Amino acid sequence: QARKPNATPAAPEKRAARHVIAVAAGKGGVGKSTVAANLAVALTRQGRSVGILDADIYGPSIPRLFGLSDAQGLKKTDSGITPLSAHGVKIVSMGLLTKPGAPVVWRGPMVQGAIQQFLRDTDWGDLDVLIIDMPPGTGDAQLAIAQTAAIDGAVIACTPQDLALDDARKAMAMFQQTHTPLLGLIENMSVFLCPHCGEPSEIFGHGGARDEAEALGLPFLGEIPLHIDLRKRSDEGRPVALDDGPVSAAFARAADAVLA
């Protein structure tokens, strides 16, 4: 049978990793990137090879979380885009292509183009787990990732607040529409642990994500406390999950639950 001019046979889809996991929130500022970064580190400490694709083109946080905020070293060669490595995790992010502090002022189709290039052209090597740090919201870019990235499952990060839960529900609905399995919910900023006396305070409430997971019949992946070390270590580019401690242990348990 004659082929149409310009028609190319469909290439078999190349999987980026044995497990491709999206971390999404719906709402910004709930700690989605912090959760993605620390899950990646926790999985690395368990002996897995891990990569993060930072799909937040307008507000990439992953380079800072890994101490790469001044790095611009992403290279494209014949074999594809070569990720940078930090703390044992391979990283691809728009923040590694732009000058520090420079905004990306792009229309939607260009953003989607960049994400597709990251998805298609990155030379990850042999990865056990690829974590996709999803951009906030449920628009074109998010839909395109959900439809084309061969995601095995999505982890939803939220705070116990009703407002964040409302947006988490929207993110979950989007994944359901694209037939992406939901791996469960993780509650961030669950309780505030006072760095002085260790007393817990429920600033954003507590248990909202657990109740939501139960109501939806989804696994509850754990609670991450609101803790000053988490914020400080994130700003320093040394995720708290690198060292032993109660917050690190919470991420290790969540990492186990994600791959269970």
* Least distance to ligand ADP, CB of residue 116, Å: 22
* Residue 85 parent element (H or E): strand 84-86
Chain residue at closest Cβ approach to ligand ADP: 31
Note the residues at the interface with ligand ADP (CB under 6 A).
25, 28-34, 61, 188-189, 224, 226-227, 230-231, 234
In 89-161, alpha helices (H): 108-121, 140-148
Rounded to whole angstroms, how far apart are CA atoms 126 and 5?
36
* Least distance to ligand ADP, CB of residue 157, Å: 7
Q: What is the DSSP string of 229-259?
A: HHHHHHHHT--GGGS-SHHHHHHHHHHHHHH
Rounded to whole angstroms, how far apart are CA atoms 132 and 105?
22
* Least distance to ligand ADP, CB of residue 193, Å: 9
Q: Closer CB to ligand ADP, residue 182 or residue 240? A: 240
Which residues have C-beta within 8 Å of that of residue 70, sequence separation ≥ 6? Answer: 100
Q: Closer CB to ligand ADP, residue 30 or residue 74? A: 30
Instruction: Find residue 76's DSSP bridge partners.
Output: 81
Q: Closer CB to ligand ADP, residue 118 or residue 204? A: 204
* Least distance to ligand ADP, CB of residue 133, Å: 7
Backbone φ and ψ of 201, nearest 5° = -130, 140
* Least distance to ligand ADP, CB of residue 135, Å: 9
Q: Closer CB to ligand ADP, residue 51 or residue 63? A: 63
Q: Closer CB to ligand ADP, residue 189 or residue 241? A: 189
